[in-house]
Chains A and B, each alone.
Chain A
Amino acid sequence: MNKSKYKILENKQIAKDVYKMLLEGDTSAINKPGQFINIEIEEFYLRRPISVCDYNEKTITIIYKIMGQGTEKMSKLEVGKELDILTGLGNGFDIKTSGDMPLIIGGGVGTPPMYRLCKELIKEGKEPIVILGFNSKDDIFYKEEFEKLGVKVHISTVDGSIGTKGFVTDIMKEIKDFTYFYACGPMVMLKAVCDATNAQGEVSLEERMGCGFGACMGCTIKTKEGYKRVCKQGPVFCKEELIWE
């Protein structure tokens, strides 16, 4: 974990209620796809945990959706402003366990961490297949960015305004020969994905957090391997250890 100041280089809307922010600063604490950062926002007591979409030596890209007053304030922050951020939080995805053809499944704002994951899997010589699920065509983002990485991207929308009408699991049915899956999105989607296949996989959970670094026990879930803090021992969990209620 690292606590440092980051300068906003970009903060722009890329879909309905969805924003992309580019931050400049120390990225040395980030070492795995699927980790998150925790951002202090003026006037708000708790930080806002947001997953890392991508990063390099100098910058971090995050994509966030306006969900409440904190993220609404974030969306109005101007380029050049400095933010106090904790980076390198959470365990992240394990790219070594995937087999040759892993499935990457992102639902809505669960999509961002899958971008870096996809890049790293490609670097490992894997051939990931990407499925992104959204409500409607206005909600879609990052389809082209994934395609530029050279992967096949399947889209589902609940209203059928673009891609397959329905859910990511409707596309999963058509793809038979994947070796593993990685998923991030709403709880109902994650459960449906886990139920839809016998393949092993990893899912990234979202939970209301206090600190984001394992101190407060605000986000503890029950797993088959005991109580685990989503912020510290997650947010990524293996399919087999999860208990669905």
Chain B
Amino acid sequence: MEINNKDLTTTLSGVELDNPVIPASGTFGFGYEFADIYDINILGSIALKGTTKEERYGNELPRIAECKKGLINSIGLQNPGIDKVIKEELPRTRRFFKKSLIANISGFSIEEYTHCCELIDKEEQIEIIELNISCPNVHNGGMTFGTDPKSAKEVTRAVKAVTTKPLYVKLTPNVTNIVEIAKAVEEGGADGIVLINTLLGMRINLKTKKPVIANKMGGFSGPAIFPVALRMVYQVYEAVNIPIIGVGGIETSEDVIEMMLAGASAVEVGAANLKNPYVCKGIIENLPDTMDKYGISSLKEIIGKAH
């Protein structure tokens, strides 16, 4: 995409994107819901709703708690299961979105991750697989893989062995040393890293004196976490040689540029979609002017420039 002589394109492991703006998994469904309100083909790509082997209802309600500058969610990976996603959701997405897609795969065991990834790998429109080893809202799975370098490496290696598409591993910030985990998944064969999933948080209702969320805790996201995400992208960029997708609190074209300067090759926009369904469109439209303001002619050229 070239607007006013500004080059917005970027590349993720050979996958060309018109621009770096990708709605984050879990905040954009399977995309088609948003096709009612604008032409979603302006997006760089879409990270689809987290998918597991079996259909999941997810956690009990309430699943949402408001915070200053963000929200806590505890959806618990509600999704129709991999078979229905391939049979019903992807064809529907394809009707509205013609570009490459990012599948987001979650699981509770290595077997489950490899099963789903092997199936999704065969889908033509899926050009990147995002391995979610960082969901804070499910027990015995999800984040437990993402908090231990050995497990993180092991699951990455197992999935890499059964897939052909670029594999991006989405990491949790709920660890002491993010660099250690990032290096482990790189060693496991990851083609890229997605940073960061939500921060574990909670709210308590003053009237009931009990946690707002049924599952007590949930994942905190929104503009409040942007500095944390930025810091982790910056740290990981120095330690690995694979591309990074930066995610966490991005709301504006300025945020996109800042995240790319830290080392992100592309960005995902999450919580902001829930507040403003047009936010990704707005960011993409504003990028050329913001680039102009800061003397940037090509986004690719600024990746990691803060180092």
Contact = CB atoms under 8 A, between A and B. Distances in A.
B274 interface: yes
A238 interface: no
Given A44-B66, A215-B34, A216-B26, A221 B275 contact: no
A214 B27 CA distance: 9
Contacts of B26: 216-217
Contacts of A40: 275
Contacts of A232: 33
Contacts, number: 86
Contact of B71 (A3, A210, A222, A227): A210
A207 interface: yes
B278 to A, nearest CB: 6
A91 to B, nearest CB: 14
Interface string B46-73: 0001000000011001111011111101
A58 interface: no
Interface of B: 26-29, 33-34, 36-37, 49, 57-58, 61-64, 66-71, 73, 75, 78, 222, 271, 273-278
Contact of A46 (B27, B57, B71): B71
Contacts of A74: none
**A-B complex: 7 closest residue pairs judged by Cβ atoms:** A211-B274, A218-B64, A208-B62, A210-B64, A217-B78, A46-B66, A218-B63
Nearest to B67: A45
Contacts of B64: 46, 208-210, 216, 218-219
Interface string A219-232: 11110000100001
A217 B58 contact: yes
B275 A47 contact: yes
A221 B70 CA distance: 24
B76 to A, nearest CB: 9
Interface of A: 1, 3, 40, 44-47, 70, 86, 207-211, 213-222, 227, 232
A220 B58 contact: yes
Given A210-B73, A211-B273, A227 B78 contact: yes
B61 A207 contact: yes
B57 A211 contact: no
Nearest to A221: B61
Contacts of A215: 27-29, 33-34, 273-274, 277
B64 to A, nearest CB: 4
21 contacts: A1-B36, A3-B278, A40-B275, A45-B69, A45-B70, A45-B71, A45-B271, A46-B275, A210-B64, A210-B71, A211-B275, A214-B29, A215-B27, A216-B26, A216-B73, A217-B26, A217-B49, A217-B75, A218-B63, A218-B64, A220-B57
B73 A218 contact: yes
B256 to A, nearest CB: 20
A70 B61 CA distance: 20
A208 B71 CA distance: 12
B73 A208 contact: no
Contacts of B49: 217
B33 A213 contact: yes
Contacts of B276: 3
A47 B274 CA distance: 9
Contact of A208 (B61, B67, B69, B277): B61
B62 to A, nearest CB: 4
A222 B58 CA distance: 11
B222 A45 contact: yes
Nearest to B55: A227
A11 B271 CA distance: 30
Nearest to A69: B66
